[in-house]
Amino acid sequence: MSTVPRFWRHIPQRYNLVGTHCSKCDEYYYPPRTICPNCRRNAKMEDHKFKGLGTVVTYTTIYNATDDFKRQTPYNLAIIELLEGPRLTGQVICSPSEIEIGMKVKPVFRILGKEGDRGIIYYGTKFVPVEGSI
Amino acid sequence: MPAGIVSYGVYIPKYRIRAEEIARVWGEREDMAQNLNVFEKSVPDFDEDAVTIAVEATRNAVKRASIDSARIGAIYTGSESHPYAVKPTGTIVGEAIGVDHELTAADFEFACKAGTAAVQACLGLVTANLIDLGLAIGTDTSQGAPGDALEYTAAAGAAAYLIGRENLAAEIEGFYSFTTDTPDFWRREGMPYPEHGGRFTGEPGYFKHVTSATRGLLKKMKTIPEDYDYAVFHQPNGKFPVRVAGQLGFSRDQIEPGLVVPWIGNTYSGSSLIGLAATLDVARPGERIFLASFGSGAGSDAFSIRVCDGIEDIRDRAPKVRDYFENVQYLDYAVYAKHKGKLRL
């Protein structure tokens, strides 16, 4: 159960892509940072909720997954560059033949994982292609 | 002061399975789809459940009327497929739409009518001036046992309604409920699939309760079916709402805009509320909508709704119900079984 508090701390960033922004140097951070490496003690950090719109920088398709993800194979994991600049790793929900570098994506709310049949359910953000989505 | 719907949003997963594909696997008659008037039903993705689809529907409702989520003072979520037995769905939805934490929340369960019960609870708090806005959700990723009649209809979908007093898209003029102890459909604790009384779910269940609630509200409101431009009745299949509408004196034209079950199946707690949303998608200010839900066990909530001028401002700002009928992806039974967790790995 040691992962429960860790997940709980991450709820804002997982559910709503809340990161940080330094208004002094205009740099955006995801996951959130408490210190701006550019401005250090002169930083002016504030929470920033990312729109979640982004572009696939690169990706891989998982065919052999761990037990928790076996049911979902094959699935795509991508590095996504958000409009505001930061890059993050996320699942892109589409066929492996459909995903490509440069694809525009948007966020959706999904189950990220489960702690077996008895533990908590982790919810958060995944991505879908903008084209063809409602 | 009048109260009612400030905004609404829906979500329906993009996967579908055709009734004829289910009939093929179980050796049923090919005309099963015509008999049920359900041609295909929605299927959730591997990583979708009643929480995730409720969040998507609620985000659409918040977006549609540009609502500040901090105004929401209550979240009531109706479902018979809450992912947790103990741990509220509403808290997860609230966090995902960025509510202020000064609110009350609870999960409701009343088979397919828990969503309309949530609307009533919000309406009470709003009318009493105890909260500014209430969020009522009907959401389900329902289950039907393999080969059971329910498997042709048990689908997934969610509808979210923001209930308030200002900037109304539609006023709720009144409601009336009819409730009895009728064991027509149930699921015991820990069981994966519901059981039902077969034909007993019809006359003593659906028809008795829907007709009683409808007649009760018409009497209370001093209205007749012709006073309404549209009507929505709970849609467990495509036959029951058509038949009950005829019995009560409503026409096929009145129910047509809200009759969505032939293309998405029975979305349980979402069913009548998605039908209402499909009607709000096309209704004009001043028109009246009659809504009657049904929940096995059993009860029915009937509502008299008058569409307000505000509908025109918000209608096009979020996806409409029929937008979710486009770009669907069909599954065969094997992949459907994988999606629904019917295959044990």
Domain membership flag for residue B345: no
Residue B137 distance to chain A (closest CA, Å)? 16
Domain membership flag for residue B344: no
Interchain pair A134, B92: CB under 8 A: no
Same domain? B248 vs B183: yes
Q: Of the listed B82, B196, B209, B234, which one is catalytic?
A: B234
Same domain? B96 vs B176: no
Same domain? B128 vs B115: yes
Four-residue CA torsion sign, A83, A87, A88, A91: positive
Contact status, residue B79 vs residue B139, Cβ threshold 8 Å: yes
| CATH code, B176 | 3.40.47.10
Interchain pair B96, A71: CB under 8 A: no
Same domain? B128 vs B237: no
Domain membership flag for residue B118: yes
Q: What do you get for the CA distance between the two ends of chain B, in Å?
A: 56
Contact status, residue B241 vs residue B235, Cβ threshold 8 Å: yes
Four-residue CA torsion sign, B187, B135, B16, B278: positive
In 3D space, the residue among B335, B282, B273, B312 whose CA is nearest the CA of residue B10 turns out to be B273
pLDDT of B29 reads: 84
User: Which chain A residue has its CA at the smallest distance from B327's CA?
Assistant: A132
Same domain? B270 vs B330: no
Same domain? B31 vs B100: yes
User: Which chain A residue has its CA at the smallest distance from B337's CA?
Assistant: A71
Domain membership flag for residue B28: yes
Spatial separation of the C-alpha atoms in residues B345 and B335, rounded to whole Å: 14
When pLDDT is cut at 50, 70 and 90, the band that residue B1 belongs to is confident
Say what angle helices B89-96 and A3-16 make with each other, to 10 degrees: 50
Domain membership flag for residue B131: yes
Same domain? B98 vs B218: no
Domain membership flag for residue B95: yes
Domain membership flag for residue B260: yes
Q: Is B80 a catalytic residue?
A: yes
Q: Is B336 exposed, middle or buried (0-12, 13-18, 19+ CB in 10 A)?
A: buried
Residue A2 has pLDDT above 80, yes or no: no
CA B246 to chain centre: 21
Same domain? B165 vs B186: no
CA B212 to chain centre: 20
Same domain? B289 vs B160: no
DSSP state, B155? -
Residue A78 distance to chain B (closest CA, Å)? 17
Same domain? B32 vs B126: yes
Spatial separation of the C-alpha atoms in residues B183 and B185, rounded to whole Å: 6
Contact status, residue B13 vs residue B139, Cβ threshold 8 Å: no
Summarize pLDDT for B167-193 with one digit per residue, the tens: 999 999 999 999 999 999 999 998 989
Across A47-51, A101-105, B150-154, B190-194, least confident range: B190-194
Question: How many structural domains does chain B have?
Answer: 2
Summarize pLDDT for B286-332 with one digit per residue, the tens: 999 999 999 999 999 999 999 999 999 999 999 999 999 998 999 99
Summarize pLDDT for B220-272 with one digit per residue, the tens: 999 999 999 999 999 999 999 999 999 999 999 999 999 999 999 999 999 99
Same domain? B126 vs B221: no
Same domain? B153 vs B206: no
What domain range is B241 assigned to?
172-310
Domain membership flag for residue B64: yes
